[in-house]
Amino acid sequence: MSTPKLIRSTAAAVELLADNLARSFINSYPVQLIAQKTSTLSQLRRDDRGNPKNIRYILDKHCPSLTHPLLARMSPTPFLTSGEQHSYYCVSNALKRDNNSDVAYNREIRTMSDNGTISLDWYPSRPSDRSDPTPIVIALTGIGGSSYEYHIRCLAKTLATQEEGKCSRLVVMNYRGASKTPLTTGKLYNAHDTNDYRNIVANISQQFPNAPLIGAGFSLGANLLTRYLGEQGSDSPLTAAISVCNPFDMSALGDAISANTAFNENVFHPVVTSAVKRMFVKNQSIIKSSPIGFDYDAVMKAKTTSELFLLALAKAYNFKDCQDYFHFASSTNYIHNIKTPFLAINTLDDHIAPASALPVRAIQENPYTALALLEKGGHLGLFCGVDSKIWYLNPMAEFVNGAIASKKIL
């Protein structure tokens, strides 16, 4: 190719690239970051565990996808025009396998003190050396979910394929009876009891003392994680934590899933109820003999998630009704006591975890907590670009590495 033609060809390519970048910017939405404002000097202060006393230090220094004027944006996938479409796409792709999600877990079975059983799915593998310093992200899924979900597998792959020196392991704590985990007692998953997660975190911390631990929670798993952090306060062994699409206010979630919408009737309720019913059928002898007193037949007839909350949680744990249980299980009232760098990611069009119920003021008043609020993305969707990548994976990886890099060894 002659020099003039090469120049014209290069110029055309640059012009096309610039045009695509401009279109992408125009069709994108900025990240609204909510966190306590502070001076640069106060950001440098540390707590007794070596963590920055203000999360702004981590965000401003290490998380350009949340703070940079040009990079802190999200371009929703063009064919997903509503929050419900993002959520449906997330559900419909739960079993999808591609280069971003093709992982093989290493499963570990743990027996709890009450003889209950938890399964841990590790990627790339469980550490073989006690002194291994590779960070470990300990994840909790939503109700009816497990390590198999597409967004969880994508997170595992993302964390494991960072640049050298920034890779992390992911371990997913599958709830009792979930993801082919045997149910060995009558105690089931619930949205309020943090003891299993507390025990798993403490055990991993003891087994691998050189590995920084990061918490990650999705949907109701994020609610559990937030409660755990508030309960622990300054005693949390986690270096940092990330919450994705946390409803925070369970009463608002209850109202949202009770709404007469096409998504609830055709997607949400069928997916969640079928998962719970499968677990009940598989473990019916244990469930029927449980002293908790589950109404097995009523659960099998339930058609909505609201009915399951009433039958399998509220009544089983001696709450008078769902509202009583939702009020107790909400994580909103625990935010003020979080003393671990905590990043929440939510969307304004989330029809399961309504933005109107987000504890914006509480998050802004706590120097350890921040909220990244997106215009679009639905519940656990947040698909961006024409290739439908999950937007929050990169900010999560940045925050994990930033929190670890910011922690001062005392």
Look up residue 290 and give its amino acid. S
Asked if residues 353 and 346 have their Cβ atoms less than 8 Å apart, the reply is yes
d(CA 302, CA 280): 12
Any bridge partners for residue 34, and if so which?
Answer: 371
DSSP letters spanning 6-28: HHHHHHHHHHHHHHHHHHHHHT-
Beta pairing class for 169-174 and 117-123: antiparallel
Catalytic residue among 87, 147, 219, 331: 219
Using CA atoms, how far residue 260 sits from 11, 61, 367, in Å, is 54, 44, 39
Is there a catalytic annotation at residue 62? no
Tokens of 262: 């096409």
End-to-end CA distance of the chain, in Å? Answer: 61
Decide: helix, strand or coil at residue 239. coil
Q: Is 288 exposed, middle or buried (0-12, 13-18, 19+ CB in 10 A)?
A: middle
Asked if residues 364 and 338 have their Cβ atoms less than 8 Å apart, the reply is no
Determine how many CB atoms are found less than 10 A away from the CB of residue 404.
19
Is there a catalytic annotation at residue 350? yes
Is there a catalytic annotation at residue 9? no
Tokens of 52: 């920055």
Asked if residues 100 and 154 have their Cβ atoms less than 8 Å apart, the reply is yes
Q: Is 22 exposed, middle or buried (0-12, 13-18, 19+ CB in 10 A)?
A: exposed
DSSP letters spanning 172-230: EEEPTTSTT----SS----SS--HHHHHHHHHHHHH-TTS-EEEEEETHHHHHHHHHHH
Asked if residues 170 and 247 have their Cβ atoms less than 8 Å apart, the reply is no
Tokens of 281: 């059928």
Catalytic residue among 243, 350, 351, 406: 350
d(CA 289, CA 167): 45
- In eight-state DSSP terms, residue 46 is B
Catalytic residue among 62, 151, 351, 379: 379
Q: Is 312 exposed, middle or buried (0-12, 13-18, 19+ CB in 10 A)?
A: buried
Q: Among all residues, which ones are annotated catalytic? A: 219, 350, 379
